Amino acid sequence: MTATEFFDWWRTQMVELIPASLRGSWQNAKTTIALEIEENSLRLSAPPSQARAEIRPARQDEASQAKVAEDFLSHLPGIPQRVRLTLAPGEYLLQHLTLPRAAQDHLAEAVGYQLPQLTPFTADQLLYACGETDDSPAGDALSVWLVAIPRQRIAQALALIGQRAPDSPLQLSTPPRPDEKLVVAWSAPEPAVSPRRRMRLAWVGLIALWIAVLALHNHNRQQAQTRLDQTRDALTAQAREVVRLRDRLESAKSQAAWLSQRREHMVSPLTLLDTLTQQLDDQTWLQGLELRGRHLTLRGISSSPATLLETLEGSRLLRDVRFESAITRDGRGQGDRFNISARLERPAQDGGT
């Protein structure tokens, strides 16, 4: 690799390290040269700047033409970045041709082979663009449009401003109408860089490299700090959730302990009914049973309420059994009415169900 190739490579690498905002400001210093060829006139401009020039090859010698072009280039606001060529309808050739459908994948090459049969020039003597027409049939045939420009005249006009003709095919998406001007554009090649300027660019690139390394280091630190902050926030949220779940667990344990304690001291209503069914004789009828907490009230009719009271006092579930009111005779002669109250108490030896 030669020194020139090395510095070109180095400059390309350094430009990629420069922030996009700075590269954008350099690009703003570049401009587009517009060439308009119509009959014997060549008009030069670089919008939006005020640089304008007109060259008439038929009336000016080569020295005069070169002086006009040099004066135009000296008034440009920046480095030529693009070239836009405008041709009058009579300055280009527009044709339509039919090719086999197989040529669609390599259309530019296929049209290039056909140029000597379609024009008095070879492919090297022309700048051309081509494409498939909108009304191309769907069968085996392919309808193609062709726009061709003599290369020599364009090359002479571009040489006045230090540019060269682009390679074919030209970048043209649609052909112009028969009475419409042709406009094509392409990127201008960058001017050569002097050795001194290459050296300056190398130093600038080296400084930019150090700046980029520092910026990358700071960027990585910021990203690492951001990840740590995000991890910390996530762990904090998880810790709060753990505390909340722990509180819920403690509350659930307290409720379970309360229920267990209550279950140990409460008598199941089914157990009570089973006990009463076994202890009440056939001459006793219950007309009401009320259980509020551990307080039980029995109302009914019995032929021997005193015997019933003694039976209930002997129950292992009932305590403080007594008559709540006086015993009265039932009007139908079925026995005596009673109203007995008692306190339920779970036996210590009863596992409970």
pLDDT at residue number 2: 60
Our measurement of the distance from residue 228's CA atom to the centroid of its chain's CA atoms, rounded to an integer in Å, reads 23
**Does residue 53 form part of some domain?**
yes
pLDDT at 313 (0 to 100): 83
Number of domains in the chain: 2
- Cross-strand partners of 208: none
pLDDT at 17: 62
Identify which of 164, 132, 169 has the alpha carbon closest to the alpha carbon of residue 149: 169
Per-position DSSP letters for 212-269, written without gaps between them = HHHHHHHHHHHHHHHHHHHHHHHHHHHHHHHHHHHHHHHHHHHHHHHHHHHHHHPPPH
Q: Are residues 177 and 278 in the same domain?
A: no
What single-letter DSSP state applies at residue 48?
A: T
What does the DSSP 8-state code read for residue 102?
Answer: G
Kindly state whether residues 71 and 172 are assigned to the same domain: yes
Predicted pLDDT at 351: 46
**DSSP string for residues in 67-83:** HHHHHHHHT-SS-EEEE
**Which element (helix H / strand E) includes 135?**
none
> In this structure, is residue 351 part of a structural domain?
no
CATH code of 275's domain: 3.30.1360
Instruction: Classify residue 74: in a domain, yes or no.
Output: yes
Tokens of 113: 């082979």
How many angstroms from the chain centroid is the CA of residue 339?
80
Q: Show which of 188, 208, 239 is a domain's final residue.
A: 188
Asked which of 188, 212, 247 is the last residue of a domain, the reply is 188
184 and 322: one domain?
no
Q: Is 163 inside a domain boundary?
A: yes
- Tell me the pLDDT tens digit for each residue of 78-114: 788 889 999 998 889 999 999 998 888 899 999 999 8
Question: How far apart (Å, rounded) are the C-alpha atoms in residues 288 and 270?
Answer: 16
Contact 116, 139 (CB under 8 A): no
User: The CATH number of the domain where 146 resides is what?
Assistant: 3.30.420
Q: Does residue 239 form part of some domain?
A: no
Q: Contact 287/338 with Cβ under 8 angstroms? A: no
Domain boundary among 188, 206, 240: 188
172 within some domain? yes
pLDDT tens for 202-245 read 788 888 888 988 888 898 999 999 999 999 999 999 999 999 99
Q: What angle do CA 150, 152, 156 make, to 5 degrees?
A: 130
What do you get for the CA distance between the two ends of the chain, in Å?
Answer: 97
For residue 137, tell me if it sits in a domain.
Answer: yes
User: Residue 31's closest CA among 170, 164, 194, 161?
Assistant: 161
Residue numbers of the chain with a pLDDT score lower than 50? 24-28, 192-194, 350-353
Domain encompassing residue 314? 269-344
Taking the model in full, what pTM does it have?
0.47
For residue 292, tell me if it sits in a domain: yes
